Structure 1
């Protein structure tokens, strides 16, 4: 069992391995966190743990002086109870400092983890996490082919419902695990559904769960005359 203690970023969405996560950092406690990442040796990985919030939010009310430095503010008296128990480790590829003292961070999801404990005693949350291996499961290759077809149908119907044209057919990865995470991230499922996909015990289980979700959503979209425009590209998350 590989465990680690890492800085913790609670977000309102799930992060998946292999996916890029842009972040705007301008709130005091997260500035401290990024500052500590920057203080690491150049050859050290700048890792932090990202976990989705199931109760509360990461945006905390400010105190009398306008600055809130409470590590778990916005998540209740016991932050761990407000968070899902499976998240994804992220590694910061670039960190740029803004003129206002904030940061622009671009990170990539690397490894799923299980949350073991949360510590709110410092300037920002930290967590002890147990890394979760990615097992292929039985029949992942066969399931991947079906999910790829269902995902293409989903994309086409979604584009049609939004009066959009698919400029080009996206080439999907051959690796079943990579495909499972790409589909989970690219769909517009709500956070609880995405979280269940993140928590799947192996690739085959994740793909098996995605197939009926994609077919159901494509069927629903096909019956609607139009949908509000939804930006399917991942937008930078703001931690304020």
Structure 2
């Protein structure tokens, strides 16, 4: 199934269910925000695609975009007197970017194909509870190594595994490459194995260095600025 979706290229990877604050100041994304709020764009949704290299992407260099992205759903807005916006969004569904409309203005618009999950093969489906438990253990080890003080409360039943890897990852600092790999994986069992591996690696590095990861504000300028 294909759809048309406004695109918002960013130097980050949005995962389903993850929160993404945005600070909007460019005219083209101000217009996108207005279109989202007024309903000109249906479902208050747009596509977040990670930029492979550089910081700006236009219709002339769309090859700089990752092929797999995630929709973002607008939840709340705050408009400043000068026309800037602060947005609260949350990750929705994965998609594959098929093409970018060359004549779309003022913001990029893409034709996308939605990417549902692929069922886990039987040999992996049978061990999903074990994979989930080991991924949670890796997450707990990471939080201990990072010296997180606030508690982590999972929102869903322990028996629900489809978005567990995303929820574990959204609580931790991970490279864009690791997040992109996690986003692109459509088999829940393999996602759990991937996030477990990454969290074990990062926890080991933190423990070896006896270091605490810097706050996100030191890695960029959240909320993300367009």
Report the TM-score range of the alignment, normalised by the length of the smaller protein.
0.7 to 0.9
Normalised TM-score (structure 2): 0.86
Structure 1's 141 and 120: CA in aligned 2 closer, same or farther, altered over 3 A?
farther
CA distance in 2, matches of 1:98, 1:221: 40
Give 1 or 2: higher helix fraction.
2
Q: Which structure 2 residues correspond to residues 225-240 of structure 1 after superposition, within 5 A?
A: 225-227=210-212, 229-231=214-216, 235-239=222-226
Deviations 1:147-186 (A, max 9, x none): 0011001110011xxxxx5243x12342212211112222
Q: Which residue of 1 aligns with 2:106?
A: 123
Deviation >6 Å, runs of 4+: none
1:143 to 125, 131, 139: 131
Tell me the CA shift for residue 224 of structure 1: 0.9
Runs of 5+ consecutive residues of structure 2 not aligned to the other structure: none
The aligned length equals 214
CA RMSD of aligned residues (A): 2.2
Runs of 5+ consecutive residues of structure 1 not aligned to the other structure: 59-71, 160-164
CA distance in 2, matches of 1:225, 1:22: 30
Tell me the CA shift for residue 7 of structure 1: 0.6
Normalised TM-score (structure 1): 0.82
Alignment partner of 1:193 is 2:182: no
Q: Which structure 2 residues correspond to residues 1-240 of structure 1 after superposition, within 5 A?
A: 2-40=1-39, 44-58=42-56, 72-73=57-58, 77-79=60-62, 81-121=63-103, 122-137=105-120, 138-139=124-125, 140-159=128-147, 166-168=149-151, 170-172=152-154, 173=156, 174=158, 175-227=160-212, 229-231=214-216, 235-239=222-226
